[in-house]
Amino acid sequence: MDIKNIIMAVVSLGGMGLIFGAVLAFASQKFAVEIDPRAIEIRNALPGANCGACGFPGCDGFANAVLAGKTSVNGCPVGGPESASKIAEIMGVAAVAGEKKTARVLCKGGDNCLSRFEYDGIEDCKAENMIGGGGSKACTYGCLGGGDCVQVCSFDAIHINEYGVAEVNPEKCTACGLCITACPKNIIELVPYNQTVFVDCINLEIGGHVKKNCSNACIACKICVKNCPEDAIHVENNVARIDYEKCTNCGICFEKCPTNAITIDKENNRIIVNE
Amino acid sequence: MEGASIFVIIVSAIFVNNFVLSRFLGICPFLGVSKQVETAFGMGMAVTFVMTLAGILTYFVHTFILIPLNLGYLELVAFILVIASLVQFVEIVLQKTSPTLYQALGVFLPLITTNCAVLGLALLNIQYEFNLLQTIAHSASAAIGFSLAIILFAGIREKLEIADVPKPFRGFPIALITASLMSIAFLGFTGLV
């Protein structure tokens, strides 16, 4: 082994490395694109999962959108209040406290809801929804239990429960909203994490007919409206809706509801705000 | 293959010796970026772009630096260096000169830095002792072969999404089985050239 060979190898490879390095350094100077330094800072404050839940292509896309003023600083549902306050600091905006949210399937149908026919196709809500005018459930707003939402969830936070209805585990849910877009029935919504009382029905049809189809449906009887001490529940379009900002989770509506459409979610042991 | 005609090289690189399906190079992006035809197309274009450039550049590095200095054994290390710098350089230049293309290639471009298909191509070009024209033809058509495979595969996987696959096979297992079936299909081209 000639020492000259070694030197040649080291020099030529090292030389190439040097030249390429110099070219790259030169190029990065010459072709430097003016990037707002805040974009990088915002990027670092984000979870970096590139999930697209904010509606922009990846975390970089979101960072640029924040800079361009196209979205608010709390637009990242996965990062939640934590990254929102960091981004707000970078942008010099007073932190809009992004309330922690969780997804909720607003349906208690499942086995309580009549079937119009036996569905025997592929296990997929979108496919079933296209058959017979909205799938086998008698209620047009009923969870089909095909598990489209379960499949899109990256956090294992949503499952089909024993009644055949999808159910969200608020502890795992990051409110990214993927299940909301995946659901062909549009019955999944973002609700405040601390909320424990829900109207688990969004059927917009008229009472009697609804009641025949599903024993847990809201029939818009307005008993909850009359009994609410905070004026936090109203019937719009034949369904009761809770105003989560006013609701104190007292549970009176739950006790008065004649059809079991209102739920108190005690299982998750979440804080019940009483003010 | 020294005197092989350009046409033979092209057909051979696209079909007979398809980089993914018969040489088994670049399997990582092939499985990773093939869930949608659109992204698969983006990846295919990025690979085509980089592979053609890398093929040409490594040819020059090999012919004018390594061979005269008698350093043929360093080709592997040298090529990694060349490819990594090239991809970086292309990314910087693209960002400045063509933001649209940069956006389109997006995250795929830096991913290709460590793609074994690019390195494999550079080494194969040397092994076959191609001249410059043959190198260009081989590089471009090998990359087109890669794009063809990944786009076809993405098309099949889009259909697989709605197929009722048995539970244990869902996801990657069925993807691998599909890939192997495609590979068998491409074996049918053996002996064409």
Residues of chain B above pLDDT 90, percent: 21
- pLDDT attached to residue B181: 93
Q: What is the mean pLDDT of chain A?
A: 83
Cross-chain residue pair B162–A16, CB shorter than 8 Å: no
- pLDDT attached to residue A275: 33
- pLDDT attached to residue B106: 67
Domains of chain A: 37-91 (1.10.15.40), 101-264 (3.30.70.20)
DSSP code for A52:
-
Quick one: average pLDDT of B120-140? Answer: 90
Q: Is A9 touching B (CB cutoff 8 A)? A: yes
* Closest Cβ opposite residue B69 in set A8, A21, A57: A8
Is residue A96 pLDDT above 70, yes or no?
no
Q: Using CA atoms in the order A235, A145, A210, A184, what is the torsion angle rounded to 10 degrees? A: 60
Is residue A59 pLDDT above 90, yes or no?
no
Question: What angle (nearest 5°) sits at the alpha carbon of residue A100, between those of residues A142 and A241?
Answer: 40
Compare all CA atoms of chain B with the CA of A29 and give the residue at the minimum distance. B92
Is residue A274 pLDDT above 70, yes or no?
no
Mutate which of A20, A64, A125 to test chain B, going by most B C-beta atoms within 10 A? A20
Distance in angstroms (rounded) separating the CA atoms of residues B155 and B164: 17
Is residue A271 pLDDT above 70, yes or no?
no
pLDDT tens-digit map of B162-187:
888 888 888 889 999 999 999 999 98
- pLDDT attached to residue A22: 92
Cross-chain residue pair B71–A12, CB shorter than 8 Å: yes
Nearest CA to CA, how far is B7 from chain A (Å)? 34
Residues 6+ apart with CB under 8 A from A248: A230, A232, A273, A274, A275
Distance in angstroms (rounded) separating the CA atoms of residues A182 and B96: 37
Structure-model confidence comparison of residues A44 and A98, the more confident one: A44
Residues of chain A above pLDDT 70, percent: 93
- pLDDT attached to residue B148: 93
φ and ψ of B131, to 5 deg: -90, 180
| Chain centroid to CA A216 | 25
**Cα A11 to Cα A17, A19, A20, B81, distances in angstroms:** 10, 12, 14, 14
End-to-end CA distance of chain B: 11
Q: What is the mean pLDDT of chain B?
A: 85
Residues 6+ apart with CB under 8 A from B116: B25, B26, B28
pTM of the predicted structure, to 2 decimals? 0.57
Q: Is B88 touching A (CB cutoff 8 A)? A: yes
Burial of A113 (0-12, 13-18, 19+ CB in 10 A): buried
ipTM of the complex: 0.70
- pLDDT attached to residue B136: 92
For B35, the 3-state DSSP assignment is coil
- pLDDT attached to residue A94: 52
pLDDT band at B45 (very low <50, low <70, confident <90, very high): confident
pLDDT tens-digit map of A181-216:
889 999 999 888 888 889 989 988 887 788 888 888
Compare all CA atoms of chain A with the CA of B73 and give the residue at the minimum distance. A9
Compare all CA atoms of chain B with the CA of A20 and give the residue at the minimum distance. B85
* Closest Cβ opposite residue B93 in set A8, A31, A123: A31
Distance in angstroms (rounded) separating the CA atoms of residues B133 and A115: 68
For B44, the 3-state DSSP assignment is helix
Is residue A95 pLDDT above 60, yes or no?
no
* Closest Cβ opposite residue B69 in set A12, A57, A123: A12
Among candidates A106, A216, A105, which has minimal Cα distance to A168? A105
